Amino acid sequence: MKILMVSWFFPPANTIGAVRMGRMARFLSQQGHDLKVLAAEELPFPKTLPLEVPEEQVLYAPWADVNALPDRLTDAAKFVLRPFLSSGKQQNSGDSAGSEAQISTTAEQTQTPSTPSALKRLRSSLGGLYSNAVNLPDARIGWMPYAMSRGRKLLKEWKPDVIYATGPPFTGLLIGYRLSKRFDVPLITELRDRWVDDPYYPPPDWRLRIDGSLERRVIGRSSALVTVSEPWAEDYRAKYGKPVAVVYNGYDPEALEGAPSMGSSEDVALRIVYTGGIYPGRRDPAPLFAAMQSLNLSPDRIRMDFYGTNPDHVWPIARQYAVEPLVSVNPPVTHREAVELQQNADILLLMQWNDPREQGNVPGKLFEYMGARRPILLLGLEDGVPAAFLREREAGFYGGSPERIAEQLKIWLDMKRTGGIPPLPEAARSGLTRDDQYSKLDRFLGEIISPGGAKG
DSSP annotation string for 182-213: HHT--EEEEESS-STT-SSS---HHHHHHHHH
pLDDT bucket at 107, cuts 50 / 70 / 90: very low
Taking residues 419-425, report their average pLDDT: 91
Q: Considering only the top CATH level, what class is 2-65+137-250+436-454?
A: alpha beta
Taking residues 262-283, report their average pLDDT: 84
Report whether 253 contacts 426 (CB < 8 A): no
Taking residues 237-250, report their average pLDDT: 96
Strand 449-450 with 453-454, pairing? antiparallel
Q: Is the pLDDT score of 259 beyond 80?
A: no
Q: Is the pLDDT score of 256 beyond 70?
A: yes
Report whether 283 contacts 297 (CB < 8 A): no
Q: Is the pLDDT score of 199 beyond 90?
A: no
pLDDT bucket at 354, cuts 50 / 70 / 90: confident
Predicted confidence at residue 357, as pLDDT, reads 86
pLDDT (tens digit, 9 = 90+) per residue, 177-186?
999 999 999 9
Predicted confidence at residue 119, as pLDDT, reads 54
pLDDT bucket at 100, cuts 50 / 70 / 90: very low
pLDDT (tens digit, 9 = 90+) per residue, 389-403?
999 999 999 988 999
Contacts of 164 (CB under 8 A, 6+ apart): 3, 4, 5, 6, 176, 188, 190, 445
Taking residues 83-108, report their average pLDDT: 36
Q: Is the pLDDT score of 187 beyond 80?
A: yes
Cα 124 to Cα 70: distance, rounded to the nearest angstrom: 10
Taking residues 76-92, report their average pLDDT: 47
Cα 22 to Cα 24: distance, rounded to the nearest angstrom: 5
Q: Is the pLDDT score of 10 beyond 60?
A: yes
Predicted confidence at residue 88, as pLDDT, reads 43
pLDDT (tens digit, 9 = 90+) per residue, 110-159?
333 344 565 555 555 555 677 878 889 999 999 999 999 999 999 999 99
Cα 30 to Cα 3: distance, rounded to the nearest angstrom: 13
pLDDT bucket at 310, cuts 50 / 70 / 90: very high
Q: Which carries the bigger pLDDT value, residue 104 or residue 325?
A: 325
pLDDT bucket at 262, cuts 50 / 70 / 90: low
Contacts of 371 (CB under 8 A, 6+ apart): 251, 252, 253, 255, 256, 429, 432, 433
pLDDT bucket at 451, cuts 50 / 70 / 90: low
Predicted confidence at residue 99, as pLDDT, reads 32
Report whether 222 contacts 188 (CB < 8 A): yes
Same CATH fold assignment for domains 2-65+137-250+436-454 and 253-432: yes
Taking residues 233-242, report their average pLDDT: 97
Domain boundaries, the chain: 2-65+137-250+436-454, 72-134, 253-432
Predicted confidence at residue 73, as pLDDT, reads 55
Taking residues 25-46, report their average pLDDT: 96
Predicted confidence at residue 450, as pLDDT, reads 74
Q: Which carries the bigger pLDDT value, residue 75 or residue 440?
A: 440
pLDDT (tens digit, 9 = 90+) per residue, 36-76?
999 999 999 889 899 999 999 999 999 999 988 766 555 55
Beta-bridge mates of residue 4: 36, 163
Cα 47 to Cα 226: distance, rounded to the nearest angstrom: 27
Taking residues 375-380, report their average pLDDT: 95
- Topology given in CATH for the domain delimited by 253-432: Rossmann fold (3.40.50)
Percentage, residues of the chain above pLDDT 70: 84
